[in-house]
Amino acid sequence: MGIEFTALHWIYVIFIVLIIGFMVKRRDTTLICVLGIFMLAIVTTGDLTSSISSVFNSFIYVITELLSTILIISIIVAMSRVMMTSGINEVMIAPFTKIIKHLH
């Protein structure tokens, strides 16, 4: 019983390698991800309009699954920036500075 790699598998692997490469170079991976979804959809369906709608359907799926996580991360980042701007983060850490200095 052998495993046969199809064009979909190779496209998936190529785009995963591209995404990792872009992440290593600290570049934005959004366009690569969208192109990967589109390429997988065009090879699967063979139809341009179905492929374009697949890209938008994937956006809808991601938003419904990850919106709460994105919202929580956004709130935490915003609260952290407010703390840094107001300087309260230094006041909160002040009691622990002696302990932290003695650890080194």
Asked whether residue 97 is domain-assigned, the answer is yes
- pTM of the predicted model, to two decimals? 0.68
**Residue 16, domain extent:** 7-103
- pLDDT-derived band at 2 (thresholds 50, 70, 90) equals confident
C-beta of residue 80 within 8 angstroms of C-beta of residue 88: no
Q: What is the pLDDT of residues 46-76, one digit of tens each?
A: 999 999 999 999 999 999 999 999 999 999 9
What values do phi and psi take at 4, rounded to 5?
-105, 125
- Domain membership flag for residue 2: no
1: in domain:
no
Taking CA atoms, 63 is separated from 71, 80, 93, in Å, by 11, 24, 36
Residues 76-103: tens digit of each pLDDT: 999 999 999 998 888 888 888 878 776 6
Q: Is residue 104 over pLDDT 60?
A: no
Tally of domains in the chain: 1
| Distance of alpha carbon 45 from alpha carbon 51, whole angstroms | 7
